Amino acid sequence: MIRFAILNFRNDMMNYKAIFRFLFILSCFNLVFISSAIAETETFEEAYKIDSGAVFEIRNRDGKIRIEGWDGDEVMVRAIKKARWGGKLDNVKIQVLPGERFSIETIHLINNPKVSVSFDVRVPIDVKVEHANTSNGKIAIMKTHGDTNVESSNGKIEINDVVGNISASTSHGAISINQVKGFVSAETSNGAINVEGVEGVVLLETSNGAIDAEVPAIGNNGLSVRRWTLMFGQPEERNKV
C-alpha cells in the first residue's frame, strides 16, 4: 500500500513537471510573439523656413495627414513612422524639399514595406496649401489658405475654417467641409457628405451615403448632385429633394 502510494506520488510529480515545462515554454513563446508584434516607431521633427506666398503640398502613401495654419513663419513637421509585423522603418523615407514649392513626400524603398507614416504639419497662413494626398488614412485641414485639392484612397476627410476653393475626394470614407470661404466639391465612393458654412458648391457625389449640405450659391457650370439626400438652405429652412 505504501509502495503504491509512493509510485502514484512520483507519477503525479512527473505530470506536474511536464505541465510546468509546457506552460513555461508557452509563456516564453507568447513573450517573443508579443514583443515582435509591438509596433516599432520613429519620430521625425523638423522646422523649415518658408517664404510668404509659397505653395505647399504633401503626398503620403500610408497614414493620416493633419495640416493646420498658424501665424509663424516656419513649416513645422512632425511625423511618426510605425512598422507593422515584419516591417522595417528604414524601408520608408520622408523626403522634404523646401523652396517656393514646398513639398513633403513619403517614399517607399521596397514594395509593401508594412510601415505607415502619420503627419502633423503646421503651415504659415500666408502659404498656399495646394495639395494633400494619402493612399490610406484620414486627412484633416484647418485654418489654411489657398485652393486645395485633397485626396485619400481610404479615409475620412475633414476641412474646417479654410480660405480658398476645396476639391475633396476619397474612395472610402465620409467628407465633412465646414466654414470655407470658397466653393467646394466633394466625392466619395462610400460615405456621407456634410457641407456647411461655405460660399458655394460645385459637386456633391457619393455612391453610398447621405448628403447634407447648405448651398448658398452654385458654381458657374451648375451644381451636380448624385445620391440621395440633399438639404438646401439654412438649417431651419432645409427641404429634402
Residue 74: pLDDT above 60? Answer: yes
From 141, 128, 13, 12, select the one nearest 66 (Cα to Cα): 141
SS (H, E, C) the chain: CHHHHHHHHHHHHHHHHHHHHHHHHHHHHHHHHHHHHCCEEEEEEEEEECCCCCEEEEECCCCCEEEEEECCCEEEEEEEEEECCCCCHHHEEEEEECCCEEEEEEEECCCCCCEEEEEEEEEECCCEEEEEEECCCCEEEECCECCEEEEECCCCEEEEEEECCEEEEECCCCEEEEEEEEEEEEEECCCCEEEEEEEEEEEEEECCCCEEECCCCECCCCCEEECCCCECCCHHHCCEC
Highest mean pLDDT among 3-17, 133-147, 208-222: 133-147
CA atoms of 161 and 157, how far apart (whole Å): 14
What are the pLDDT digits (tens) for 186-200? 999 999 999 999 998
Shared domain check, 32 and 80: no
- pLDDT at site 241: 34
Quote the pTM value: 0.77
Q: How many domains is the chain built from? A: 3
- pLDDT at site 88: 94
Considering only residues 74 and 3, tell me which one the structure prediction assigns the higher pLDDT.
Answer: 74
Does residue 141 sit within a domain?
A: no
- pLDDT at site 134: 96
Residue 206: pLDDT above 50? Answer: yes
Name which of 40-49, 104-113, 134-143, 214-223 the model is least confident about.
214-223
Shared domain check, 45 and 33: no
Shared domain check, 117 and 75: yes
Shared domain check, 55 and 18: no
Shared domain check, 50 and 24: no
- When pLDDT is cut at 50, 70 and 90, the band that residue 6 belongs to is very low
Does residue 22 sit within a domain?
A: yes
* Domain that includes residue 43, residue range: 39-133
Average pLDDT score over residue span 204-215: 89
Residue 15: pLDDT above 80? Answer: no
Does residue 138 sit within a domain?
A: no
Residue 230: pLDDT above 90? Answer: no
Does residue 148 sit within a domain?
A: no
Residue 10: pLDDT above 70? Answer: no
